[in-house]
Amino acid sequence: METKNKKSFGTQKLDDERRVRVLSPGMLVFKRFVRNKLAITGLAILIVMFAFAFLGGLVSPYTQSQVFKHDEEIMKEYATCMLSTDFRYTVREGAEFPDAARATAVLAISKGDASFTYGDKTYSLVKEGDEFYTFGDALMIAKTRTLAGKFSVDALPETGFVASPEFVAAAEAAVASRSAQFEADGTFYTLINEGKSSSIYHVEPIALASKLVVDPYNESQTSLTTSFAFRYAAELASVRGEKEFELDGTRYVVTGEENDMVVSTMDGEPICSISDILVSPNANDIFLTAEFKAVIRETIRAKETKFVYVDETGENVDYRIDRVNTTYTVRTLKESRVITMFDFPSPQHLLGTDSNGMDVLTRLMYGGRISLMVGFVVVFLETLIGIVLGGISGYFGGWVDTAIMRFVDLFNCIPFYPIVMIIGTVMDKMEIDPIKRIFILMAVLGILGWTSIARVVRGQILSLREQDFMVATEATGIRVSRRIFKHLVPNVMPLLIVQATMSLGGIIITEATLSFLGLGVKYPLASWGSIINAATNVHVMTNYWFIWIPAGLLIVLTVLGFNFVGDGLRDAFDPKMKR
């Protein structure tokens, strides 16, 4: 016998254990699954995706909402120049010329009137020169007092009036004769008597309107050049073509031609320039010197667009002038800290940065977590509701079955996207917290999506219910809940797993679609869909492929992975159907 056995070594008997290897059902399913190339590809894709999403976040040196900035030299607006086309008003210190009266004044100027009324006051209007007008009003310049027979005159210092002896004498005479007017130094004054004291008025220019712009050379001279008296004297000199004028005992010289003049002291120290081009700095803390302004004006008059000016540190700075109608913008290169927007792929940012200056690759990783997690939670929710309702429906049958199935019909008939969109819009308007939004989204997707699973479970249980092993459980008197969950549900499991895997892909697509439309996951959180949302902007879509194409490919690959695996599982569980 032994020799015979030895001879037949290599050719096995039909019932040899080594020939008929008995595999457990689970093992059989596994073997069939492994043999399927597509399924293995899908599984590999999924493993990579999971590693990318859940481990990637740990490996990435950045966080999902880290904003990158860099220094950049950009042309910044430095100053704005305008041809002065509006009247500028200077009001005498202590006098009142309300803003609203200016509109009336402009009207009177255009009509050529000699006076105009605003409120209950009448102002005189004098044309002093081309586009230079003064507005006069009776200004109280002095007060007189008669105390114990002694007469005195107090000039009001803020008006700059100085009472000459002749004036005092004339005033005294007028008070004594109770006349309302008197003349002194060749000027007429009005006197209003108030018992022991009286006020003296004189029609004086209280405001002037001119289109010329006065720029001081030195910041410390600002108070002088903006004073009414200086401006009045300077402008009067300029329109009259006088080369000199005197103010407060100082003589000033005017040089240059019309619209571009320099006022300086007798010893040659420049005080201010007078011109018709207004130059104002774009930042509040910059003082533009009159020299600088003069250079700009020169450039504008020469119709050039570039000039160089030496700054305080002695360096040449390039400036560019852009013209829009009568406005000129002066730009210069300034170093400033800007957000690194739409940075093209580089070793620091493998997929560049997005519109918020965040690293796209890192956001893809964190977005993957949310997309995958939403998928799993929703499928879990769907399956839970589906098993319970489908199980009850299939097991009990009769009116319970009918009721639940009608309920399923009702749910199926409710359109999915409109309802989810309404909820998304409402959440938008109520400004719900982004994290809370995700939970609401998961709940809504789960509640709207359970019907197909319920149907599958019901169908499966309906057929299983009639089989012998179920009759046996009934005969042995096992509890109903135990019969359902211990004996029926495990038999439904294979189909359920296939169904769940396949619907995972669908849910990921749904979530991505909603996020893409801006109704799902919201900034600062990321999901693959919300990253592609950037491509709704045609400019981003056209120029920055690295922002939206990788996210789209990730979605496609992941969903494909789930579908391949689901397909493979179906084949493995049910070899009869082949694929």
Partner 1 sequence: MTKFIVRRLILGAFIVFFGALVAYAVIRSLPTSFVERMARQLSALPGAKSYSELIDQLNKMYGLDGSILEGFFKWFGYAIRGDFGYSWKFNQPVIEKFNSVIWYSVIINIFTFVLQAVICIPLGILAARKQYSATDYTVTVVALMGISLPTFFLATLLKYIFSIKLGWFDLYGIVGRMHEQMTSWQQVLDIAHHLVLPVVTLMILSIGGLMRYTRTNMLEVLNADYIRTARAKGLSEKVVINKHAFRNTMIPLISYMSYLLPTMFGGSMITETLFQIPGIGYISYQAITQGDIPFTMFYIVFIEVLTQFSLIIADISYAVADPRVRAN
**Interacting residues with partner 1 (CB under 8 A):** 38, 406, 409-410, 412-415, 417-419, 421-422, 424-426, 429-430, 505, 509, 512-513, 516-517, 519, 529, 532, 535, 538, 541-542, 545, 548-549, 552, 555-556, 559-560, 563-564, 567, 577-579
Rounded distance, CA 165 to CA 117, Å? Answer: 35
Which structure tokens are listed for 138?
A: 């009776």
Beta partners for 196?
none
- Between 286 and 422, name the residue whose CB sits nearer to partner 1: 422
Which structure tokens are listed for 168?
A: 């005092």
> Under 8 Å CB-to-CB from 139, ≥6 apart: which residues?
92, 95, 159, 201, 202, 203, 204, 206
Please report how close the Cβ of residue 37 comes to partner 1 at its closest, in angstroms.
9
- Between 152 and 513, name the residue whose CB sits nearer to partner 1: 513
- Between 387 and 555, name the residue whose CB sits nearer to partner 1: 555
Please report how close the Cβ of residue 349 comes to partner 1 at its closest, in angstroms.
22
Please report how close the Cβ of residue 560 comes to partner 1 at its closest, in angstroms.
4
Per the listing, tokens 């109903």 go with 480
8 Å CB contact between 190 and 169: no
- Between 201 and 416, name the residue whose CB sits nearer to partner 1: 416
Provide the 3-class DSSP secondary structure of residue 473: helix
Smallest CA-to-CA distance from 93 within 219, 243, 255, 229 is with 229
8 Å CB contact between 125 and 116: yes
Rounded distance, CA 173 to CA 179, Å? Answer: 9
- Between 159 and 527, name the residue whose CB sits nearer to partner 1: 527
Please report how close the Cβ of residue 541 comes to partner 1 at its closest, in angstroms.
6
- Between 59 and 556, name the residue whose CB sits nearer to partner 1: 556
Please report how close the Cβ of residue 542 comes to partner 1 at its closest, in angstroms.
5
Provide the 3-class DSSP secondary structure of residue 55: helix
**Cα Dmax for the chain:** 167
- Between 516 and 573, name the residue whose CB sits nearer to partner 1: 516
- Between 340 and 371, name the residue whose CB sits nearer to partner 1: 371
Alpha carbon 219 to its chain's center: 37
Please report how close the Cβ of residue 204 comes to partner 1 at its closest, in angstroms.
53
Please report how close the Cβ of residue 57 comes to partner 1 at its closest, in angstroms.
23
Phi, psi of 190 (to 5 degrees): -110, 140
Rounded distance, CA 531 to CA 550, Å? Answer: 10
Please report how close the Cβ of residue 545 comes to partner 1 at its closest, in angstroms.
8
Which structure tokens are listed for 482?
A: 């135990």
